[in-house]
Amino acid sequence: MIEKAVKALRKIRASKHEANKSSNRSPEWDKVRDKHIEEHGVCEACGSTKHLQVHHVKPFHLHPELELDPSNFITLCMDENDCHLLIGHGDSFKAFNPNVREDAAKFMTASANDRKLIVESAKKNRLV
pLDDT tens for residues 59-118? Answer: 998 999 999 999 999 999 999 889 999 999 999 999 999 999 999 999 999 999 999 999
What is the reported pLDDT for 23?
60
- 22: pLDDT strictly greater than 70: no
CA distance 40 to 72: 13
pLDDT tens for residues 37-51? Answer: 999 999 999 999 999
Q: Is the pTM of this model over 0.85?
A: no
Q: Find out whether 75 and 40 touch, Cβ atoms under 8 Å.
A: yes
